[in-house]
Structure 1
Amino acid sequence: LGVLYIARKEYDLAIQHYKTAVALRPDFPGALYNLATAYVTVDNINAAIDTYLKVIALNPSESNAYSDLGALYSKKGMLKEALYFLSRAIRLNPKDAIAYYNLAVTYEKMQDDEKAAWCYQQALKINPLLQPALKSLINIYQQEGRFDEALGILQMWARQNPKDPTAATNLALARLRFDKWLQKINALQEIVKKEPQNKEARLKLAQAWIEAQAFKKAKELIKELIKQDPDYLEAHLHLGILYGTNREFNEAISQFEEAIRIDPKDYRPHYNLAIAYETAGATAKAKAEYEKTLKLKPNHTATLLNLSAILTKEGRVEEAMVLLNELLRYDHKCPEGYLNLGILYIQKKNLKQAEDNLKKALELKPDYPLAQFNLGKLYWELGKKELAQEKLNLLKKSQPLLAKKLQALIENK
């Protein structure tokens, strides 16, 4: 009955049913396991973990409980616990492809790509159709610049799935991408080979690896550059951006601060430091760096947009509007500026100005979904129902999720 409730997405009823089953037979691990699985379905991770531990206490050889528990600990960022339970699951059931997959994910979180790749390989040996493992393994190889091995995985996938047209298509597209990237990389490697002290050429080579999404390879090259010249600002900037892309915010911040030390008058380190702080959730520090950026470069579009967005979230609408008007004075062809200003005019109940700005955003960027959504919503509020429907129809073709949201707003008016 619990399975039926879950199939119907009546999760509360399923949990209640399984709780009743556990109360009737508290020593039966099967009922507890089903209850834990139901908790996972509703994303009650802590309750699921507690229940899986009870399953293991009753039946220490229940490999699925170890596997599921390890996956949950990995999701919570409790990586040592994840390694322990996933390893136990594999010892109990060496054919558990999902346990190997989640073990690989855990090793990736620990930045041990070598062990992660090995675990993904084991998962694919057991289940060659496990696409998440395939994609993750290709990503590791690509980040390390191991394009031949990435192609090998895609070739294996195409051989094992001859009736899947996407497998052959993905292989062909990957070959084209890799060939294009390698032509540029090989040419730059020749220059670096002839001129090993040429910093600019070595940085261009790192940039080529970045374009090829071989971020780990690029990071190694840039670190070597910094070792050669600790005051090479461009290298610190690129390394900081790479760290930020990988959500290694402390390392990114350290690189941008070093770039500021090298040249306090360059606006770019301040801007990138602000991005790192904002992404890491340190909004006050981000604002301070955005303000420093504007002192050095008052017309920096991205900074004006980002700082105005922070002020808007803080309810400081008037100040945000001042920044956006300043932005549009410098750059009158910025669709994002008109969109954000239009949204703020809606908040201020100045609907004519809102309409003008949203229309201007679409004039500059006709396929701008957020502008279509907000203008459609505004048209409905203004009683211009045909125009609202027109925007809704456009969104249905390009952005179904936004279309559903606009449809719901219209139906509730």
Structure 2
Amino acid sequence: MFACAGLVSAFAACGGSSVEPPKVAEQTKPELANPQTESGKRTAEKLEAQGVSQDARDELDRGIALLGSDRGAALARFQSAAKKSPQFAAAQYNAGALLEENGDLDGAARAYQAAVKADPSYGPGVAGLASLQVARGDELSAIASLQKQIADHPDSAVARGTLAQLQARRGDLEAARTNAIEGLHLDERSAEAMLALGMVYRRQGRTELAQLALDQAIAVDPDLGEAYNEVGLVQLQMNEKPKAVVSFEKAAAASPRSAAVHNNLGAMRNEVGAFDGAADEIRKAIALNGNEAKYYLNLGNALRGQQKYAEAEQAYRQALTVNGGVPDAYFNLGILYLDNDIAGKDAMTRYHESIGFLNDYTAKASPSERDQTQVKDYIATAQKAIDGEERRLDREKKRQEKDAARAATPAKGQ
């Protein structure tokens, strides 16, 4: 009954039917480098070959250990590691990630650039810089920087794979496929290129090929959160929602800094009625990126499922105002007011305001003819409720008048 939302691919992300097919988020950020992960362990020999000092590697370890308790101290450790060994791409990248988290986007860009300069094949550095440029609303600069990276380092499978991912998200599927395949020619074990190819196949509706490419990407890099996210989207295309929940859980575990995957996991938990867990995940998404109106829409759905109607209304109203807003929230407010008691609102007021919200949705969301028919049905339901409430109030008024008249008439014998 409620519209749900995210960013890119449509699926039913909340209980009941929805006017607008809900959409989920795709783009994630690479995670902090951690020597304890499988991909981190594989870099040890490479670090020795690059001359990264043991002191610098120890500083990175100390920074990782501090992440849960003192991220400021962790940043200082990462910066210290980068200073001890400027060629230590992971330290440069981790410093950039925390600087970005702190809102120092210029400092983050410098750190990411240092990571790429230190090691042009270091995937998180290449992807982090491109992701930052996209986050700043400059996709063309992200594409240009990746193309320059490829021109300067033609053998960089990582850069080609990352460029292919960005092109796939933009819908330039032929260019994305070309760059992904070229990346695999350069390095048949390039997880970035395999991921990009899977993204292309999913958008083409070739779900089996997409699943195969994404499984291969995960086999190479089990810590690649975006790959799990894409697997979840493929499973949604195949209507395998329980499997999609598991995939989004894996994506959130692998990419805890990604607002998109927390939003997706929350939306899927809404779908299966796990509203407490849904609200928790979507709040994480909002904490990471409070500028996505669609996250507030999904939060409202979770809160409504928890029967926290006042909080749900607040979330829907935020969905109307944050970053231009999403008009789907008018629909959800209309149904919220139609179906549930709202503090401070009598039934007649609720029904009239419900119709107002639904009319706003029709005017501002440009729904399809089918969706307009559904909205008209809800408006008719609200009008029927108004008519019934008017009859009830009329009966109540007549009863009160009769009681008053009876009370004013002296009893016989008095």
TM superposition score normalised by structure 1: 0.47
Structure having greater relative contact order (Cα 8 Å, sep ≥ 6): 2
Larger helix fraction of residues: 1
